Amino acid sequence: MEGSLSLANFPKGVKSFLAVFVLVLSVGFFTGLLFVNETTEASPQGIHENYLGNEADEEAEVMKFKKSEREMLTTVHTHILSLSFVFVLMGVLVWLSDTSLWLKKFLSIEPLLSVLFTFGGIYLMWKGIGWMKYVVMVSGFLMTLSFTWAAALVLWQLLFKKSGSN
């Protein structure tokens, strides 16, 4: 986006504020991924066990129990709402960057779809559609990739791109 609404043309103070915001948001996002790795081991079987339990596995190192309907609705509700706000804010910043229209569309729309597929997939898996664990893995990976690319793009525009340059 050329002109005054480009991130590169913002005053230094605003650039600093937004850069710190994106860094703090990134710490929160990636800390969440550490938690996901801790609870699911980032595997289809781990995702399945985290929500549906592993009581039948007498060899399990950590016993996990099936989540209740209330726990599932709370998880799905809070994650869809909070991550939607995260990706709307990042999407606005991406749209203020000087990059291709295709990349702006992808980095602003894809993570919102991934939020829906990831947490909708978790709920459907919990309801008995076992193969959704693979949809959850793929959409979670795409969501993470989109967040990383968007954060890197925005930080580069704020910290390194010169005002008025292409």
pLDDT tens-digit profile of 13-30? 999 999 999 999 999 999
The confidence score (pLDDT) of residue 6 equals: 93
Residue 2 lies in a domain: no
The confidence score (pLDDT) of residue 63 equals: 86
CA distance 85 to 99: 22
Number of separate domains in the chain: 1
Residue 33 lies in a domain: yes
Residue 57 lies in a domain: no
- Residue ranges of the chain with per-residue pLDDT less than 70: 1-4, 164-166
pTM: 0.90
CA distance 122 to 75: 9
pLDDT per residue as tens digits for the range 85-99: 999 999 999 999 999
Residue 53 lies in a domain: no
Long-range CB contacts (< 8 A, 24+ apart) of 3-10? 5/96, 6/96, 6/97, 6/98, 6/157, 7/93, 7/96, 7/97, 7/98, 7/154, 7/157, 7/158, 7/161, 8/98, 8/157, 8/158, 8/161, 8/162, 8/163, 8/164, 8/165, 9/163, 9/164, 10/158
The confidence score (pLDDT) of residue 96 equals: 97
Residue 132 lies in a domain: yes
Residue 111 near residue 87, CB atoms below 8 Å: yes
**Residue ranges making up the domain that contains 127:** 18-37+68-157
Residue 83 lies in a domain: yes
Q: For 12, list phi and psi in degrees, rounded to 5.
A: -55, -40
Residue 117 lies in a domain: yes
CA distance 139 to 131: 13
The confidence score (pLDDT) of residue 166 equals: 46
Residue 42 lies in a domain: no
Residue type, 65: F
The confidence score (pLDDT) of residue 56 equals: 81
With CA atoms as reference, report the closest residue to 6 among 90, 92, 88, 97: 97
